[in-house]
């Protein structure tokens, strides 16, 4: 039966398989089928994470989707995918007690010194409901500062697939600098390799595979597409942010991947316009057991010249797969992007 939960947060900010052929078949490419900041959460299992969230299962993936209310195993403020575990793994891709595909910021260029503004999506009321056996939806009514209403659909599919579809409506004319940007954070559970990989290169250079592993938080964090020449303006304040710090690298294709144990997490976007990639080497805190920081593999969706009450949307396909070649990852991405265009 569909279920629904809600939260209205006014509290203080908490910092913080089956063979690959299944995925190939689903894409039509073959025949046939942290340590200190998270103490007390590091042993949370998908079953524990389900407490207060909605558990979905399809093929080799199990996910728990939740709102920002928090539970005894889930820190308040973090929303989206509380847990995502592959049958071939013994732990969740995302840091237990935090989340992945977490709507973290809504940015319109106004001052961000106040945490209630900087982390607005964490604080504002949000509901989660199950809409089918393999689908959940998050809804956030118009937020108090930026006035953005949004819906996010998560759908689990066989082949290691978690699809993400986001739509939003600016309900108030609150974009003094002519743009509105949303930011999603995915806190990765202490991988040995904290890097994001993507296609691109410095301006004027030939495309190739690029590795983004920033030296510290807010260090050349954000990668723009080669065609993205837009400069977002900000009112003066005292806060630095990942989305204000830029890498000299440029991406050429709307995708990235990262390694997690013996798996690869592939993230594919249905467009290039407005998409920006962002990395933090330590955004998810420190994992004492593994003696490693938890990186954040993030992305942004920037809307230029938004119009009040107009709908804006984009889609993402994520795939958690046994490690495979880069050529195969590109084939999977191309197949889905072509399908989206039909």
Q: Which residue segments constitute the domains of the chain, with CATH numbers given?
A: 4-341 (2.70.98)
122 CB contacts (<8 Å, ≥6 apart)?
A: 9, 13, 68, 76, 77, 78, 79, 104
SS3 25: helix
Give me the pLDDT at residue 25, please: 54
Write down the pLDDT at residue 182: 99
pLDDT for residue 36 is more than 90: no
Mean pLDDT, the chain, rounded, equals 88
pLDDT of the residue at 51:
64
Rounded to whole angstroms, the Cα distance separating 278 from 282 reads: 12
With a threshold of 0.85, does the pTM exceed it? yes
Q: Which residues contact 263 (CB under 8 A, 6 or more apart)?
A: 17, 86, 88, 89, 93, 320, 321, 322, 323
Nearest 5°: phi and psi at 35?
A: 60, -150
Weakest mean pLDDT among 14-23, 58-67, 105-114, 123-132: 14-23
pLDDT of 22 > 70? The answer is no
Query: What average pLDDT score do residues 151-177 get?
Result: 98
């Amino acid at each position: 039966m569909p279920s629904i939960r809600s939260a209205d947060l006014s509290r203080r900010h908490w910092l913080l398989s089956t063979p690959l052929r299944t995925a190939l078949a689903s894409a039509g490419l073959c025949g046939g089928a942290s340590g200190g900041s998270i103490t007390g959460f590091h042993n949370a299992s998908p079953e524990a994470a389900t407490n207060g969230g909605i558990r979905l299962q399809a093929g080799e993936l199990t996910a728990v989707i939740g709102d920002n209310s928090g539970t005894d195993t889930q820190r308040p403020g973090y929303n989206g995918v509380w847990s995502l575990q592959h049958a071939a793994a013994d732990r969740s891709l995302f840091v237990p007690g935090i989340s992945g595909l977490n709507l973290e910021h809504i940015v319109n260029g106004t001052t961000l010194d106040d945490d209630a503004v900087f982390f607005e999506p964490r604080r504002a009321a949000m509901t989660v409901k199950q809409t089918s056996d393999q689908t959940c939806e998050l809804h956030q009514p118009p937020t108090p500062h930026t006035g953005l209403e949004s819906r996010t659909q998560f759908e689990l599919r066989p082949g290691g697939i978690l699809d993400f579809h986001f739509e939003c409506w600016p309900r108030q004319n609150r974009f003094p600098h002519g743009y509105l940007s949303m930011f999603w954070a995915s806190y990765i559970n202490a991988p040995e390799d904290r890097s994001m990989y993507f296609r691109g290169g410095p301006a004027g250079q030939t495309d190739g595979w690029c590795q983004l592993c920033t030296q510290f938080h807010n260090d050349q964090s954000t990668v723009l597409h080669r065609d993205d020449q837009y400069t977002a303006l900000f009112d003066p304040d005292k806060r630095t942010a990942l989305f204000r710090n830029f890498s000299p690298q440029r991406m050429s294709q709307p995708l990235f991947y990262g390694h997690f144990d013996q798996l690869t997490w592939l993230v594919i976007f249905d467009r290039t316009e407005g998409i920006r990639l962002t990395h933090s080497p330590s955004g998810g805190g420190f994992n004492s057991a593994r003696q490693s920081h938890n990186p954040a593999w993030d992305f942004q969706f920037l809307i230029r010249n938004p119009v009040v009450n107009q709908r804006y949307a984009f889609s993402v396909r994520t795939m958690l797969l046994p490690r495979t070649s880069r050529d195969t990852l590109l084939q999977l991405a191309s197949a889905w992007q072509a399908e989206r265009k039909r």
